[in-house]
Structures are given as structure tokens and as C-alpha cells.
């Protein structure tokens, strides 16, 4: 029996997406939504985490009839092992990105590149001092070398404690110590997870879950945090600037280049290359009015935060951007890049260029970016895009109209600066109940949901309740398109939040960056806790990832919880096959870590759930409503 197809209007809340989904249908192109239909119904064993492929006595599938794997592992052990590896995959992604950032800074410090430099020396020196690296009377590059060594050490097993644990409130560190989950080294925790989940090792679900928390902490407080801090050092700490969002940022009369992925090391050079007068002249020679650059996903976030480059779209817009027929070239680094983009590109004239040896795509052209040749390679890529302009078929071009303005660039440095260098105004606003709490809404799109319905509605509900919202990752695009990232959005906020944001001239929803930049949220939470002399779990804070899909999002959610921040998810990870693991995630962790997960697909109910939590926390702190 043929399955009934979901109407296009139910796939996304956005006009630009719907218009392109109609065009895709006309052009005979399948997207993630279509492929999801082909993949469903999903295997229920896999969905509940009850299948194991960790050895060749199996694969095993746990059921009432067969409650044990061949080795004797039960459902709880299998679910916990699968979840542990899942989260570790995400930690590896963020943290390996962080390692690439250290290597970049290392190359700069050792004079191995002329293409990159230190843009924010003050931040470099500030972080060095924070980590007790001497700066007095030393050359900046010498300090940078020491900082690199310190960061590299965070990946191995030579230190007892990660460097940035100096930011963590004492009470939180004590909780980790008591549970034996103080993170030691990024690579160490990830490798240990692979070891523990090998057949015949950690066969206690709760114990595996604790190591999952520990591994995620190494991501949040080291891998991701290092990525963020070094990106600021190399490319500048973000500050408020205007930008725009929607597929309408793609321009009909120009050579269009999209950057996609996560690490700004490639895309920052592309920004420079598209501004090269020689290349602009070449584009004009070929009949284009200029060269237009826009971002997708987190590389887009990185460029928007620091350079104001417009955002074409989030995760589920990446395929649809190609369907405009007006994109000459997409240059990618790694993570969240659908391999289908190569195929869809081939249906038009869109070339896909990969840049990292660890993320090659069959059918794409590989232009390897290294620290010593970044600029030359960027020029090469831009020239390739210009060459393709002539191949565009104007009859197949259709670009959704209109763009939405937004304000980006809210780093912690900026927030502190806006408050005169202290957190006191924020603390006062929280105490007075004008800002009742803060929630970081992060993460992705997932074709199982109507695109951005939950992301947008949860945000709107929370600001109505005088809860400040911080966004990163693909939620940025969602809230940007909904007009929530401009100061005028205070009209949608409750009276207290409106008053405070108006006085600071900021939107009620603040864009703090890409997915690794959730480390900024952790840092802010820690600063706030230290200011009040409490633990992070005492604060009226929460996290949420309504439409998440990736291993990385699971890693973020887990390090939030392990750091003491209650975290809402739109749907559970594949753990529901184990009562022990599920109860631990939804309740048990609350006793151990002072925070747990909450699951709720409906954004309005989720807002209530989060609001309840914030109410409790305020009450416990002796704060009124
Ligand atoms: Fe990927 Fe970071 Fe998710 Fe977007 S939000 S779909 S992980 S790009 Ni992180
Ligand atoms: Fe089956 Fe155990 Fe092997 Fe997993 S580790 S596949 S449960 S025998």
C-alpha cells in the first residue's frame, strides 16, 4: 500500500522552504523529508536502543522472547552502551574541531603561516592569565605557544583536571568529584568510553551513564570551550552587528557561494577571497554583478557572529538552497553536511567542494585547506565558483523573495561590557523577577517535526514569561526568521524582560553563536553561579533542544545536565528500551547532578515544564515571582 505523503505545508512553517519544496517536487528532487518517508516505520529495536552490534557473536536484539544478548548483556546494559557511544560521537565531533583550532593557533604561533594571525591579542592574554600562563613582558606569540601546549594537554592523559575547570563553581566540582566524573582528558574519556562499551567491560548501566556524563563534560568544558576561545583569538571576539536571514539572501545577478559546516578556519578565508578586487573583476567579466557569500548551519553562525555574513538557512534548508538553481558552489568543512547535497547539486550546476581530509564526499571536488595555503585555496575555490556562473540555467532559477533582519554577536564579553563590566545588573534583574530566568535553546532541525515550529514557538512562549532566551546553532536561523533577534522583538516579551532589554538596547533573544559556542553559555552560567555564591544547579536556568537530531546535540544536552542545567528535549534519544536508563535520564540524574532531562514534543507544554523548573529554582533561592 502506498504511504500517504505529508503535505508540503506540514513539512515546514516557512514560506521559503515551502516554495523550494514545491520546486523540488517539480524538478524531481528528493529531500530529507522524502527519504524519511522511505525509511519509516523505523526498526523499533534500534529506536529503543535495544539492538547491539558490538561483536560478531551478535548482532543481538533484545525482546521478551530473547531478553539477553549472546554474551548475556541485558537490555539496560545495551541501551546504556549505545547511548554512551552516541554521546561520545558528538563529543568527538566538537572536540576534534577544537583540536583543529589548537593546531591553527599553533601554526600561527610558530610562524608556519602568513594566512592567519591573532586578531584578539587581548583575549589571548586574558585567557593565558586565567590559566596561570605568564604573560608579563612576553611576546604575544610566545604566550600563544604556551597556551597551545596547555590546550593540547587537555586532550591527553597527562593532567588531572581540564584547564577550564578553573571556571567551574566549587560546589559543582565537588559533585563531580564525589561521583568520580571529573573529566580528565578529552581523548581519554572518549577512548575510555569505547573501551568500556567493548564486550565484557562496563556491564552496569548506571556506571556507563556516569561515564557518559564525564565524557560530555570533557566536550563542554574543554573541546567546545577551546574551539570557541581560539576562534575568538584568531578571528575576533564577536560583537553586535546586523545581518539577514532567509533563502532570499541568495542573489540572482551574482555569483553565489555558500559555506557550510562548523569550523571558521576555511570560511574566514573565503570571506577574504570574495572581497578580493581581482576576483570581483573576474566575476564581472563573466557577466555577474558581483560575488555573494552566505552561510549555512554553524559555519554560517560563525561568520554571521564575527563578520555579519548573511545566513541562507539552517539544517533542513541546506538542500533547499541548491534547489534555487542559483548557487554556483558550496564549500564545506565538516559535520551536518548531508551527502545528498552532491547529488542535488548535480541536478543543477552547483559544485560541491570539500576541504578537510576527514570529510570527503564522493562526487565532490576536494580542495585541501591547510594552514600554510588557506588563502590561495580560498581564491582557487572562489575562482571555481565564478567559472560556473556561465553554466547556470536561468530558466531553472527561482529564489524566494525577501530577507529578515537580525542582530547577532552576543559574546559574553559583549554582555559583560553592556552591563559595565559586571554581572550585577543581570543579577539584580533576576532578583527583582524582571528577568525570571534564562534558557538556552540550541540545536537542529529534524524532518520528523514541522521545521522550526517547536524552535520558534518555545522561544516565543518563554520570552512572554519574562525568560531571557539565548540561541545557538540552527535555532538561530529559526528565531531570526521569526523576527525574534531584533530589539523590536521586545514587543513580544513579557513586561519585565521588555523593560530590561529596552534599557540595554538588546533583543529578548540573544544569538550567542554556533554549537561549540554553547561553551559561552556554560561560562556565563558559571559566572552567574560564582557571583551569587551558589551552584549552577541552583540558578533559574534551563537548556532546550526541541528539534535535535545529532550526536553532538546529545553531547550538549548531556554536558548541560552534568553541569547542573535542566535540559528539555523534543524527543528522547534511543534509550526508551531501558527503564533504568530512562528513569536515570528523567529523574535519577536530578538526585545525583541536580539536573535531568525533560521530554516534551509540544512547545507550549515544554514552555510550562521549563517555567515550572524556573519557578522552583527561584523559590529555593528565596526569590519571589
Ligand atoms: Fe548541525 Fe551545528 Fe544541529 Fe545545526 S544545530 S543541525 S548539530 S549545524 Ni548544532
Ligand atoms: Fe550480542 Fe553481547 Fe555481542 Fe552485543 S556484545 S552483539 S549483546 S553478544
Return the residue whose CA atom lies nearest to atom 2 of ligand 2: 71
Return the residue whose CA atom lies nearest to atom 3 of ligand 2: 55
Mapping DSSP to helix (H, G, I), strand (E, B) and coil, where does residue 115 land?
Answer: coil
366, β-bridge pairs: 354
Set of cell numbers at residue 518: 554553547
Sorting pLDDT into bands at 50, 70 and 90, what band is 3? low
Sorting pLDDT into bands at 50, 70 and 90, what band is 178? very high
Q: Centre a 10 Å sphere on the Cβ of residue 103 and count the other Cβ atoms it contains.
A: 18
Sorting pLDDT into bands at 50, 70 and 90, what band is 346? very high
Sorting pLDDT into bands at 50, 70 and 90, what band is 624? confident
pLDDT at 2: 57
The whole-angstrom separation of Cα 343 and Cα 362 is 10
Select from 45, 49, 50, 52 the residue to mutate for testing ligand 2; criterion: most ligand atoms less than 8 Å from CB. 52
Nearest to 13 by CA among 452, 542, 523, 447: 452
**Relative to the CA of 301, which ligand 1 atom is closest?**
2
Q: Measure CA of the first residue to CA of the last residue in the chain; give whole Å.
A: 55
**Relative to the CA of 77, which ligand 2 atom is closest?**
7
**Relative to the CA of 514, which ligand 1 atom is closest?**
2
Return the residue whose CA atom lies nearest to atom 2 of ligand 1: 298
pLDDT at 5: 83
Give Cβ neighbours of residue 172 (< 8 Å, ≥ 6 apart). Answer: 526, 529, 535, 536, 537, 563, 564
Q: What is the pLDDT of residues 267-310, one digit of tens each?
A: 999 999 999 999 999 999 999 999 999 999 999 999 999 999 99
Q: Centre a 10 Å sphere on the Cβ of residue 191 and count the other Cβ atoms it contains.
A: 15
Q: Where are the beta strands (DSSP E) in 220-343?
A: 241-245, 255-260, 291-296, 311-313, 329-332
Q: Which residues of 141-169 are buried (b: 16+ CB within 10 A; e: fewer)?
A: eebbbbbbebbeebbeeeeebbbbbebbb
Instruction: Find the 297 Cα to ligand 1 centroid distance in Å.
Output: 6
Instruction: Find the 332 Cα to ligand 1 centroid distance in Å.
Output: 14
Cell numbers 554581572: residue: 423
Percent of the chain whose pLDDT exceeds 90: 98
- pLDDT exceeds 70 at position 316: yes
State if residue 474 touches ligand 1 by the CB under 6 angstroms criterion. yes
pLDDT at 423: 95
Q: What is the pLDDT of residues 19-70, one digit of tens each?
A: 999 999 999 999 999 999 999 999 999 999 999 999 999 999 999 999 999 9
The whole-angstrom separation of Cα 148 and Cα 128 is 10
Instruction: Tell me 74's DSSP state.
Output: B
CB contact at 8 A, 17 and 9: no
- pLDDT exceeds 90 at position 625: no
State if residue 550 touches ligand 1 by the CB under 6 angstroms criterion. yes
**Relative to the CA of 199, which ligand 2 atom is closest?**
5
Mapping DSSP to helix (H, G, I), strand (E, B) and coil, where does residue 198 land?
Answer: coil
The whole-angstrom separation of Cα 370 and Cα 507 is 38
State if residue 75 touches ligand 2 by the CB under 6 angstroms criterion. no
**Relative to the CA of 549, which ligand 1 atom is closest?**
3
pLDDT at 160: 81
Q: What domains are defined for the chain?
A: 75-235 (1.20.1270.30), 241-396 (3.40.50.2030), 409-620 (3.40.50.2030)
Q: What is the pLDDT of residues 500-554, one digit of tens each?
A: 999 999 999 999 999 999 999 999 999 999 999 999 999 999 999 999 999 999 9
- pLDDT exceeds 70 at position 618: yes
pLDDT at 77: 98
Q: What is the pLDDT of residues 415-425, one digit of tens each?
A: 999 999 999 99
Amino acid at each position: 500500500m502506498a504511504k500517504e505523503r505529508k503535505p508540503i505545508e506540514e513539512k515546514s512553517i516557512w514560506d521559503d522552504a515551502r516554495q523550494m519544496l514545491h520546486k523540488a517536487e517539480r524538478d524531481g528532487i528528493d529531500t530529507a523529508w522524502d527519504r524519511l518517508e522511505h525509511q519509516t516505520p523505523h526498526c523499533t529495536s534500534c529506536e529503543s536502543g535495544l539492538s547491539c552490534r558490538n561483536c560478531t557473536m551478535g548482532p543481538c536484539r533484545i525482546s521478551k522472547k530473547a531478553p539477553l544478548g549472546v554474551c548475556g548483556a541485558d537490555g539496560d546494559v545495551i541501551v546504556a552502551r549505545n547511548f554512551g557511544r552516541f554521546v561520545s560521537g558528538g563529543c568527538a565531533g566538537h572536540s576534534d574541531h577544537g583540536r583543529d583550532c589548537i593546531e591553527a593557533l599553533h601554526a600561527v604561533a610558530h610562524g608556519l603561516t602568513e594566512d592567519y594571525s591573532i586578531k584578539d591579542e587581548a583575549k589571548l592574554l586574558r585567557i593565558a592569565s586565567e590559566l596561570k600562563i605568564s604573560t608579563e613582558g612576553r611576546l604575544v606569540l610566545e604566550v600563544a605557544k604556551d597556551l597551545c601546549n596547555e590546550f593540547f594537554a587537555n586532550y591527553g592523559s597527562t593532567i588531572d583536571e581540564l584547564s577550564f575547570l578553573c571556571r567551574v563553581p566549587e560546589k559543582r566540582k565537588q559533585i563531580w568529584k564525589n561521583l568520580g566524573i571529573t573529566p580528565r582528558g578529552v581523548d581519554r574519556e572518549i577512548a575510555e568510553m569505547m573501551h568500556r562499551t567493548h564486550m565484557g567491560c562496563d556491564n552496569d548501566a548506571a556506571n556507563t551513564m556516569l561515564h557518559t556524563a564525564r565524557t560530555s563534560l570533557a566536550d563542554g568544558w574543554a573541546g567546545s570551550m577551546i574551539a570557541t576561545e581560539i576562534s575568538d583569538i584568531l578571528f575576533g571576539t564577536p560583537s553586535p552587528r546586523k545581518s539577514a536571514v532567509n533563502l532570499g539572501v541568495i542573489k540572482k545577478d551574482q555569483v553565489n557561494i555558500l559555506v557550510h559546516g562548523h569550523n571558521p578556519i576555511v570560511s574566514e578565508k573565503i570571506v577574504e577571497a570574495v572581497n578580493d578586487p581581482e576576483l570581483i573583476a573576474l566575476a564581472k567579466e563573466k557577466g555577474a554583478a558581483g560575488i555573494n557569500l552566505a552561510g549555512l548551519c554553524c559555519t554560517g553562525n560563525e561568520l554571521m557572529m564575527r563578520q555579519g555574513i548573511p545566513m541562507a538557512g539552517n539544517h533542513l534548508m541546506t538542500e533547499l538552497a541548491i534547489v534555487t538553481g542559483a548557487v554556483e558552489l558550496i564549500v564545506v568543512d565538516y559535520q551536518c553536511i548531508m551527502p545528498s547535497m552532491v547529488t542535488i547539486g548535480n541536478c543543477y550546476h552547483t559544485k560541491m567542494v570539500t576541504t578537510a581530509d576527514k570529510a570527503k564526499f564522493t562526487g565532490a571536488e576536494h580542495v585541501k585547506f591547510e594552514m600554510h595555503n588557506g588563502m590561495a585555496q580560498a581564491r582557487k575555490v572562489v575562482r571555481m565558483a565564478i567559472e560556473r556562473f556561465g553554466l547556470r540555467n536561468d530558466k531553472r532559477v527561482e529564489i524566494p523573495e525577501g530577507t529578515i533582519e537580525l542582530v547577532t554577536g552576543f559574546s559574553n564579553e559583549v554582555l559583560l561590557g553592556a552591563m559595565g563590566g559586571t554581572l550585577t545588573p543581570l543579577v539584580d534583574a533576576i532578583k527583582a523577577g524582571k528577568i525570571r530566568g534564562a534558557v538556552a535553546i540550541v540545536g537542529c532541525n529534524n524532518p520528523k517535526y514541522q521545521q522550526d515550529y517547536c524552535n520558534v514557538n518555545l522561544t516565543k512562549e518563554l520570552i512572554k514569561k519574562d525568560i531571557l532566551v539565548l540561541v545557538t546553532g540552527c535555532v538561530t536561523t529559526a528565531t531570526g526568521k521569526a523576527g525574534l533577534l531584533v530589539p523590536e522583538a521586545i514587543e513580544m516579551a513579557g513586561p519585565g524582560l521588555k523593560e530590561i532589554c529596552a534599557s540595554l538596547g538588546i533583543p529578548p533573544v540573544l544569538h550567542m553563536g554556533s554549537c561549540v559556542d554553547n561553551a559561552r553559555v556554560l561560562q556565563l552560567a558559571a559566572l552567574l553561579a560564582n557571583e551569587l555564591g551558589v551552584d549552577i544547579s541552583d540558578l533559574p536556568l534551563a537548556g532546550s533542544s526541541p528539534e535535535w537530531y545529532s550526536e553532538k546535540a546529545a553531547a550538549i544536552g548531556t554536558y548541560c545536565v552534568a553541569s547542573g542545567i535542566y535540559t528539555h528535549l523534543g524527543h528522547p534519544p534511543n534509550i526508551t528500551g531501558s527503564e533504568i536508563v530512562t528513569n536515570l535520564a528523567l529523574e535519577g540524574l536530578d538526585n545525583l547532578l541536580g539536573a535531568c532531562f525533560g521530554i516534551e514534543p509540544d512547545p507550549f507544554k515544554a514552555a510550562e515544564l521549563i517555567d515550572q523548573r524556573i519557578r522552583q529554582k527561584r523559590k529555593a533561592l528565596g526569590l519571589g515571582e
